Amino acid sequence: MSTMTLMPAYGRKYESKDAVLKDWHKEKDFVIVDVGNSHRGRYVNCQQIDDLKKFGVDILKFRYGKALTKAFTLGD
């Protein structure tokens, strides 16, 4: 299993998991922030989930909250 960490793009801020998921499903962009990931800095949204699976990603970790200190995961 491979995990990819995402945070809101374009300066968006979220205070709840529900708000993150709402925008994820609205196809808003999130940025890949994993250190050492060759895709770091790339913008992705839920339309690209099949592409992420091709890269071996099966768990998405979303960072949110003040200073991005909160997190939750989606996937297997």
Share of the chain above pLDDT 90, in %: 70
Give yes or no for residue 73 having a pLDDT over 70. yes
Closest by Cα among 36, 43, 47 to 2: 36
Closest by Cα among 28, 26, 33, 23 to 60: 33
Domain ranges of the chain: 2-75
pLDDT of residue 75: 82
Contact between 76 and 59 (Cβ < 8 Å): yes
